[in-house]
Amino acid sequence: MVDGLELRRWAIGDRDDLVEAWADPEVRRWTTVPDDVDSDAAARWIAGEERRREAGLALDLVGVAVNDGRLLGEVGLSTFDVQRGAARIGWWVAASERGRGVATSMVRVLTAWAHAGPLALRAVVAEVDPANPASAAVARAAGFKLLSSGPEAPMATDAAPRRFVFASVRPDSEPVTGIEDPVVRASEDLISEDRPDA
């Protein structure tokens, strides 16, 4: 775990960091980046965070260094499946901050809060492209278990490319079935005003 990391909401002052991340080839390759990636687009995306959270669509947070406040990366929940008590988690780390446990710490902190906090999620699911071993290592390092992969995984198609599905299941939970494909469900009561801290 990285010492001195905390998660907080996006703020308009993070705009330049977001522009930089959207320009990073690794972030562009492995995460969904909007078509518009300039400063105005970043400001609009940040301004939309509250609406996405209150609509139950996503909870996007940044990891920052406690000592100087610099932005280390992003971690977020989305694709909330209210019936199963599941959601997807995604992440990226600023290029200059990689290789020292930032992603692992952010994922651990948000996952622990998602299980034990007001969301009380039974399962947090991470989808990783098999060609992205760094991210698979993050999922494993954060305690996620591989649900499906390799030859037994469904054949990839254009509509459903092959991916590794990892999950963190709440220790006291019954087995959760069908979480490989959580359904997008907006739910205002799933997203709390509380925020996790490292």
Ligand X SMILES: CC(C)(COP(=O)(O)OP(=O)(O)OC[C@H]1O[C@@H](n2cnc3c(N)ncnc32)[C@H](O)[C@@H]1OP(=O)(O)O)[C@@H](O)C(=O)NCCC(=O)NCCS
Is 9 buried (19+), middle (13-18) or exposed (0-12) by CB count in 10 A? middle
Helix (H, G, I), strand (E, B) or coil at 89: strand
Residues at the interface with ligand X (CB under 6 A): 26-27, 30-31, 90-93, 98-104, 128, 132-135, 137-138, 141
Helices 39-47/15-23 angle, 10° precision: 120
Question: Edge-to-edge strands of the sheet including 5-9?
Answer: 5-9, 58-65, 71-81, 86-93, 123-128, 164-169, 145-148
Shortest distance, position 93 Cβ to ligand X, whole Å = 4
Nearer to ligand X, 51 or 100 (CB): 100
Choice between 1 and 116, CB closer to ligand X: 1
Query: Which H or E run includes 30?
Result: helix 25-30
CB of 62 to ligand X, least distance (A): 13
Q: How far is the CB of 21 from ligand X (least distance, A)?
A: 8
Nearer to ligand X, 80 or 164 (CB): 164
State the nearest-atom distance from the C-beta of 110 to ligand X, in Å.
Answer: 13
Pick 4 or 118: Cβ nearer ligand X: 4
Residue closer to ligand X (CB basis): 15 or 88: 88
Contact partners, residue 190, CB within 8 Å, separation at least 6:
56, 80, 82, 87, 119
In DSSP terms, which residues pair with 7 in a beta bridge? 63
Residue 82 or 130 having the CB closest to ligand X: 130
Q: Considering the complex, what minimum distance in angstroms separates the CB of residue 33 from ligand X? A: 10
Q: Whole-number minimum distance, CB 94 to ligand X, in Å?
A: 8
- Residue 128, judged by CB atoms within 10 A of its CB (0-12, 13-18, 19+), counts as buried
Interhelix angle 102-116/133-141, nearest 10 degrees: 50
CA–CA separation, 127 and 191 (whole Å): 21
